[in-house]
Amino acid sequence: MAVHFHEEDLPEGVLAPGPVAVDTETMGLITPRDRLCLVQISDGRGDEHLVRFSPGSPYAAPNLKAVLADPERVKLYHFARFDLAAIEHYLGVVAAPVFCTKIASKLVRTYTDRHGLKDLVRELLGKEISKQQQSSDWGGPVLSDAQQEYAASDVRYLHAMHTILIERLERERRTAMAQACFDFLPVRARLDLAGWAEQDIFSHA
């Protein structure tokens, strides 16, 4: 298992075929204001790749974009809504099709209200991850070893959880409902970017 650090793009051919786990780090939670600093990606075979973007980056990244936009590759996220918005806004691609472990958790782990990545990894895989670097400065000139390890851990376990959550969705007969939610997520992210982040357009009010 290794963490590989890259500047501005993913090297060609470093990922095996199949689903990829994806996460992002930004300067904050308001996507148009808070720039995309890092994209983490893993093919689930033991290595994680971190792609860092500098201030003023053109976000060209042709290799990374090709992977993210590939309609044959499922992208695994935890809270896909945020990552999809950041990727579309800065990289200009829709990183779908989607499987979101947070949504899947909410559909099958109805016995708890704890659906954070740390809680999910602990229950499903019996492992502990640290969230200490979650609010650190991702735009600095150097990312510390602790930051890189934190970023890598955000994609390290998504493949294993994907397998378990697929089984639970099938067991509870909620697979079709989950898929419909996943299919809608790129539109939900686009609504966020367009100004409807806090408003429920499906409500009567």
Token readout for 192 is 């966020």
Assign residue 102 a region: left if phi > 0, alpha if psi is -120 to 50, beta otherwise? Answer: alpha
Assign residue 79 a region: left if phi > 0, alpha if psi is -120 to 50, beta otherwise? Answer: left
pLDDT of residue 135: 74
pLDDT of residue 1: 79
- Locate the domains of the chain by residue range: 2-194
Length of the chain: 205
**CB-based contact 148:50 (threshold 8 Å):** yes
Q: Do the bridges between strand 20-26 and strand 47-52 make them parallel or antiparallel, or are there none, so unpaired?
A: unpaired
pLDDT of residue 184: 98
Token readout for 138 is 């991702």
pLDDT of residue 205: 85
pLDDT of residue 32: 96
The rounded radius of gyration (Å) of the Cα atoms in the chain is 16
Instruction: Give the CATH fold of the 2-194 domain.
Output: Nucleotidyltransferase; domain 5 (3.30.420)
- The one-digit pLDDT tens for each residue of the chain (205 residues) are 799 999 999 999 999 999 999 999 999 999 999 999 999 999 999 999 999 999 999 999 999 999 999 999 999 999 999 999 999 999 999 999 999 999 999 999 999 999 999 999 999 999 998 777 677 899 999 999 999 999 999 999 999 999 999 999 999 999 999 999 999 999 999 999 999 999 999 999 8
Return the ∠ at Cα 51 (arms to 50 and 55), rounded to 5°: 130
Neighbours of 179 (CB within 10 A): 14
